[in-house]
Amino acid sequence: MTDKPTILVTGGAGYIGSHAVLALIDGGWPVVVVDNLTTGFRWAVHENAVFVEGDIGDIAFMEGVLRQHDVKGIMHFAGSIIVPESVENPLKYYRNNTANSRALIEAAVNAGVPHFIFSSTAATYGIPEVSPVREDSPKRPINPYGQSKLMTELMLADVAFAHPLNYCALRYFNVAGADPQGRSGQSTAGATHLIKVAVEAALGKRSHVAVFGTDYDTPDGTGVRDYIHVSDLAAAHVLALEALIADPGRNLTMNAGYGKGFSVLEVLDAVDRVTNMKVARRMEPRRAGDPPALISDNKAILATLPWKPAHADLGEIVTHALAWERKLSERTGG
């Protein structure tokens, strides 16, 4: 038996959520997963987690789950994450990300859950004037995705002031890679993440990789991003949970990144090295709303949590992503 409290993971059948479940279970935490399986996969949920299929926007349902399992902490990953889709269908994002988060927070308050960890995003900064970007930089989202996540951060701050709930919002940069033991990875069809797209191309699942913008004010003209290994990100969530439990009066908002950036071409070169082949590249115009560089200032998370990234090597991130992509091909026969 464990003396650790039960943690609810929303979206635990998805990419980042499933890795958080692995990190929790590896650490001896009892886990309940709620996922509606619209984009997640039932097989991605660890066998030792309790799985409940359902809608986090249903307050009565969620309150029942929280009470039934005596949940003491929530890690909230469920939501929609595709930026161009958020521009085309903003109401979907305000429902899935904002309204459903509001319902989940209400269920948490009603059920007396004291700790809440929220999956936020660097998209809350919009196009930052300074890079690396700090937590106190202006929040000026340029799309409904970033706006919908920022609204949830604001709700959490207000609720934490009014109720006995503390929270941590982790603003992710570019999440990549897969579980080093091959237990989970990025499985979504049609994913837009560069490293996922590049390893798909390396395995013949795509004809090429589009490079959007070659005339940025960056060393090689292509966009620079801060890529963080999904298992390091999951580890940060568990450490954040422990920090909230240790100090119930404390709320945290922190960047989750390595504080180092790689350009699109540098990432593709890394894929070429790992695969020992040349991935086809097609140069395309810039996409609207893409900043030239988006790199985290990660001093706050390093100072606040005992977080020591274990997989910060770009080659290792690509290697794990490639291994998972091969495993996924075997699973789907594709």
Give the integer Cα–Cα distance in Å for 169 and 171.
6
- Residue 127: strand, helix, or coil: coil
Q: What integer is the mean pLDDT of 179-183? A: 97
Place of tokens 């291994």: 323
Q: Which domain holds residue 85?
A: 6-175+228-256
Answer yes or no: do 84 and 104 share one domain.
yes
Give the integer Cα–Cα distance in Å for 139 and 131.
14
Q: What percent of the chain has pLDDT over 90?
A: 91
Is-contact 225 261, C-beta < 8 A?
Answer: yes
pLDDT, tens only, 289-320 = 788 999 999 999 999 999 999 999 999 999 99
Give the integer Cα–Cα distance in Å for 75 and 206.
34
Residue 2: pLDDT over 70: no
* 153 falls within a domain: yes
* pLDDT confidence bin for 140, thresholds 50/70/90: very high
* 1 falls within a domain: no
* 201 falls within a domain: yes
Q: What integer is the mean pLDDT of 130-147? A: 95
* 184 falls within a domain: no
Q: What integer is the mean pLDDT of 183-197? A: 91
Instruction: Tell me which of 13-27, 215-229, 276-290 is least confident.
Output: 276-290
Strand 224-225 to strand 293-294: parallel, antiparallel, or no bridges (unpaired)?
Answer: parallel
Nearest to residue 20, comparing CAs of 244, 175, 214, 136?
Answer: 175
Answer yes or no: do 95 and 243 share one domain.
yes
Answer yes or no: do 77 and 140 share one domain.
yes
Residue 79: pLDDT over 60: yes
* 278 falls within a domain: yes
Answer yes or no: do 103 and 251 share one domain.
yes
Answer yes or no: do 92 and 219 share one domain.
no
- Residue 177: strand, helix, or coil: coil
* 189 falls within a domain: no
What is the model's pLDDT at position 120?
A: 98
CATH of the domain at 264: 3.90.25.10
Domains in the chain, number = 2
Answer yes or no: do 240 and 267 share one domain.
no
* pLDDT confidence bin for 129, thresholds 50/70/90: confident
What is the model's pLDDT at position 101?
A: 98
Q: Please say which residue of 236, 256, 276 terminates a domain.
A: 256
Answer yes or no: do 251 and 263 share one domain.
no
Answer yes or no: do 97 and 113 share one domain.
yes
Nearest to residue 171, comparing CAs of 223, 215, 135?
Answer: 135
Answer yes or no: do 321 and 250 share one domain.
no
Tell me the two tokens of residue 104. Answer: 């989940």
* 307 falls within a domain: yes
Q: What integer is the mean pLDDT of 54-66? A: 98
Q: Looking at the chain, how many residues does it have?
A: 334
The number of helix segments (H) and strand segments (E) in the chain equals: 11, 14
DSSP codes of every residue in 155-214: HHHHHHHHSS-EEEEEEE-EEE---TTSS-----TT---HHHHHHHHHTTSSS-EEEE-S
What is the model's pLDDT at position 130?
A: 87
Question: Which strands form 31-35's sheet, in the order they lie side by side?
Answer: 50-53, 31-35, 6-10, 71-76, 115-121, 166-172, 252-256
What contacts 81, CB < 8 A, 6 or more positions away? 121, 145
Answer yes or no: do 216 and 316 share one domain.
yes
Rounded to the nearest 5 degrees, what angle is found at the Cα of 23, between the Cα atoms of 203 and 74?
115
What is the model's pLDDT at position 144?
A: 95
Q: What integer is the mean pLDDT of 268-279? A: 96
Q: Please pick, among 15, 93, 125, 145, the residue that the annotation labels catalytic.
A: 145
Q: What integer is the mean pLDDT of 269-293? A: 93
Q: Please say which residue of 256, 272, 297 terminates a domain.
A: 256
Residue 114: pLDDT over 80: yes
What is the model's pLDDT at position 82?
A: 87
Active site residue 145: yes
* 185 falls within a domain: no
CATH of the domain at 238: 3.40.50.720
Element (H, E) at 103: helix 100-110
Give the integer Cα–Cα distance in Å for 229 and 260.
13
| Amino acid letter, 310 | A
* pLDDT confidence bin for 84, thresholds 50/70/90: confident
Answer yes or no: do 70 and 126 share one domain.
yes
pLDDT averaged over every residue in the chain: 95
Instruction: Tell me which of 39-48, 173-182, 225-234, 324-333 is least confident.
Output: 324-333
Answer yes or no: do 216 and 233 share one domain.
no
* pLDDT confidence bin for 332, thresholds 50/70/90: low
Q: Please say which residue of 256, 271, 306 terminates a domain.
A: 256
What is the model's pLDDT at position 331?
A: 77
What is the model's pLDDT at position 190?
A: 81
What is the model's pLDDT at position 333?
A: 59
Give the integer Cα–Cα distance in Å for 138 and 83.
20
